[in-house]
Amino acid sequence: MIRRTILLTLITAASLQAQVSYERILRAGQEPQNWLTYSGNYNGQRYSSLVQITPENVKNLELQWIFQARSLEKFEATPIMTDGIMYTVEAPNNIVALDAATGRVFWTYNYTPAQAARPCCGRVNRGLAILGDTLFMATIDARLIAVDAKSGRPLWNVAVAKPESGYAMTVAPLVVKDKVIVGTAGGEYGIRGFIAAYDAKTGKEAWRFYTIPGPGEPGHETWPASNNAWEHGGASVWVTGSYDPDLNLTYWGIGNPGPDWNGDDRGGDNLYSCSVVALDADTGKLKWHYQFSPHDEFDYDSTQVPVLVDTQWQGSQRKLMLWANRNGFFYVLDRATGQFLLGKPFVEVNWASGFDEKGRPQRIPGMTPSAQGTLILPGNQGGTNWYNPSYSPKTGLFYIPTWANYSSLYVKQPVEYQEGRNFGGGTPRPTTPTGIRTTVNNYAKEDEGYVPFAQSIRTPAK
Amino acid sequence: MWAIAIRSCLFISMLAAGAVPVIAQHEYTSSEIEAGRQQYAANCTRCHGPDGDNVANADIGHGKFRRASTDEELVQLIRNGVPNTAMAGMNNISEPNAKTIVAYLRSMAATAAAVAALPTGDAARGKAVFESKGGCTNCHRIGDVGSRAGPDLSQIGAQRRSVELHRSLIEPDAEIVPANRLIKIVTRDGATITGRLLNQDSFTVQLLDAKDEKLKSFSKSNLREFAFVDKSTMPSYKDKLSTQELSDLISYLSSLKGQAQ
């Protein structure tokens, strides 16, 4: 009886260990019972080494508890787990600390975003970051807030950008060393996107990298010299980046250029929209970039977590980056240099036929939005979207949630920039019903070279 | 309720404080004053501050009103505002509620004497007292420094009057804000845990253990005892600090307005 009581007490008593140090985050893989960053690990693999749940016993899982959110918004957050405490966001921007064993609430930090907040595509949030005893949340009114993880009390609250100009944040911040890194959304409202780092103690901005280069900066020539399209050319950040501590580079996917579906006034490649950028984590300085979709007109945000994998590639050990992009292609890059190693479609694609040596997509003539509409695969949601991929070092497989056999009719319309107003320039219309499937890529099977679609699990169309 | 004064705590405190002159037309019940305190906190503190002295030339916490003198005039001023100033009309406050605010303003003026008698405080010296001689960080937290066992004081200057801070330092048991009560639980196997109550429902309780500052959740069926601690665990500083040190400490605490919302 006594033993049973002690056991029960142990089970019900969850405890918070104070220090989620940077060193602990670096070694997050060694404590699989926790989940210390958005992707679980700096490498973005979203791989758990826990083995309790197996294909054999998964059918026996039973409901243990329910947390009833006081919100009708969607849950898009990945919770942070530290030593029995689960921290998540009740959309749009309330932080909740839960006992992971029972679902009971320790505290809630309620934040009401400013009326001016107009996030495209949902009043959602993708989660938190933690360092020490402090949680960090990016809000839909473009503020960054630090909250005490034990009491839920706010510590600092700083403006990252102006919501009146269309800026918003739905991203889960990324903590690197003593800094908190976030990126701004708002590409549908004519923002000039940026990634910025803030001092974790004070909230003071440490560096800022504009995702559209200004005059005099390399890449500015990819925007017209004849107008100011670059000033509101979008290039949002929607999803958290990853980090390679050896290279001290943090990698972030950049969203579409604006106007989304009408590129007439923004001739050129429109860097760094639809790209991955590799930034020095201490200074925010650009080390390299690779653009997946130059001069995009299909809303093909690179809104995916860069997945970092160290493995053999064509006979030698390489630091790779794997990326299934919204544009329908699966990529392998060298993440030290940005070198393009491979690009293959993982769903049906009709806007590009392949790549040149440097990895620039070869466009198919006529495949652009038009006044009467052009049927493009993949459609506006993309071959995949923000829903995270994962990589298993055990199987060597890369797992992608995908939209299969999916197209949109891209109709182009004129649009003029007005601060804080929609800046779409068109309408992507739905076409055929589609299903969702999970694609599993064996991207590096050495004996046969690259073999796409090792398996595909298809969900019937609804 | 408003017009009929039954018995006034104010009157008693006036005697105790040595008859501070105030021009109150009414005597107020303690419940009116308490209701006014809540109305004041919700509607007035943001601009006027907890001591009522944040706005230049309008030290309303010490009975210094520029545009009104009678209680009725004050009620009208609260509800109609003052044209061309930041004092907007607050007609969302009902007349009875505005009257309780006046009751509280009169009581503030009467009770401010306790700190008025103290020497002028120095916030910088008070910070040193807080962090060293007073040992306050052993239980209290300001910003990201100090223990979470006691109430967080990061914004205490925006929440509590100087007289209230003074009284808490001298007589910690005189008033314990309900949210700041500690809770003590004893588990069935005899473990005792004291901490801050964060949440509870019919079957479980969640608290922050004052000892190790960990978040803990318990099933009530596994508890032998579960009760609030009546007494404050804070010592009286009446004989621990000099009058000057107390004044410095109060100045420091009053300066803590916090940052984040």
B221: which 2 tokens? 């069926």
pLDDT, position B13: 38
Q: Could you tell me the residue range of the domain that residue A148 belongs to?
A: 16-49+67-458
Name which of A157-171, A356-370, B4-18, B190-204 the model is least confident about.
B4-18
- Within a domain: A9: no
Asked if pLDDT for residue A405 goes beyond 80, the answer is: no
A199 is catalytic: no
CB contact residues (below 8 A), chain A span 17-46, against chain B: 17-18
**Predicted confidence band at A438 (pLDDT cuts at 50, 70, 90)?**
low
DSSP annotation of B119 reads: P
CATH number for the domain including A238? 2.140.10.10
User: Are the C-beta atoms of residues A38 and A87 closer than 8 Å to each other?
Assistant: no
A387 occurs within a structural domain: yes
A3 found inside a domain? no
Residue A135: inside a domain: yes
Distance CA A103, CA A92 (A): 20
**Which pLDDT band holds residue A10 (cuts at 50, 70, 90)?**
very low
Alpha-carbon span B116 to B69, nearest angstrom: 22
Question: What is the structure's pLDDT at A17?
Answer: 45
CATH superfamily of B9-116: Cytochrome c-like domain (1.10.760.10)
Distance from CA of B102 to the nearest CA of A (A): 32
Q: What per-residue confidence (pLDDT) applies to B4?
A: 39
pLDDT of residue A186: 95
Residues of B within 8 A of A153 (CB-CB) are: 152, 154
> Which residue is catalytic, options A141, A269, A296, A299?
A299
How large is the C-alpha radius of gyration of chain A? 22
Contact, A244 vs A308, CB < 8 A?
Answer: yes
Contact A81, A74 (CB under 8 A): no
- Closest in B188, B198, B199 to A5, CB measured: B188
Tell me: pLDDT of A453 over 50.
Answer: no
Q: Which of A65, A80, A150, A156 to mutate to test the interface with B (most CBs of B within 10 A)?
A: A150
Are B192 and B182 a contacting pair, CB within 8 Å?
no
Whole-number pLDDT of residue A315: 86
Q: How does pLDDT run across B131-173, given as a tens digit for each residue? A: 999 999 999 999 989 999 999 999 999 989 999 999 999 999 9
Beta strand A205-210 pairing with A154-159: unpaired
User: Can you tell me the mean pLDDT for A222-243?
Assistant: 97
Instruction: For residue range B14-31, list pLDDT tens digits in order.
Output: 333 333 344 556 788 989
Q: Complex ipTM, two decimals?
A: 0.81
Domains in chain B: boundaries: 9-116, 123-176+242-254, 182-228
What is the pLDDT, as a whole number, of residue B16?
38
pLDDT of residue B54: 87
In a domain, A256, yes or no: yes
What pLDDT, in 10s, does the model give residues B34-93? 999 999 999 999 899 998 988 888 889 888 888 888 999 999 999 999 888 889 888 899
Q: Which of A75-79, B111-115, B121-125 has the lowest mean pLDDT?
A: B111-115
Nearest-Cα distance to chain B for A11, in Å, is: 9
- Average pLDDT for A84-112: 97
Binary contact (B259, A150; C-beta < 8 A): no
User: Domain for residue A355, yes or no?
Assistant: yes
Residue that has been written with the tokens 């700083």 in this structure: A158
Helix (H, G, I), strand (E, B), or coil: what is residue B116? helix
The whole-number average pLDDT for the span A191-207 is 98
Read off the pLDDT band of A434 (50, 70, 90). Answer: low
In the predicted structure, residue B6 carries a pLDDT above the cut 50: no
pLDDT at A433: 55
Number of domains, chain A = 1
pLDDT at A395 over 90: no
Q: What is the mean pLDDT of chain A?
A: 90
A124: left (phi over 0), alpha (psi -120 to 50) or beta: beta
Cβ distance of A151 and B188 shorter than 8 Å: no
CATH 2.30.30.100 fits B182-228, yes or no: yes
Domain membership flag for residue A380:
yes
What's the mean pLDDT when you consider all of chain B? Answer: 87
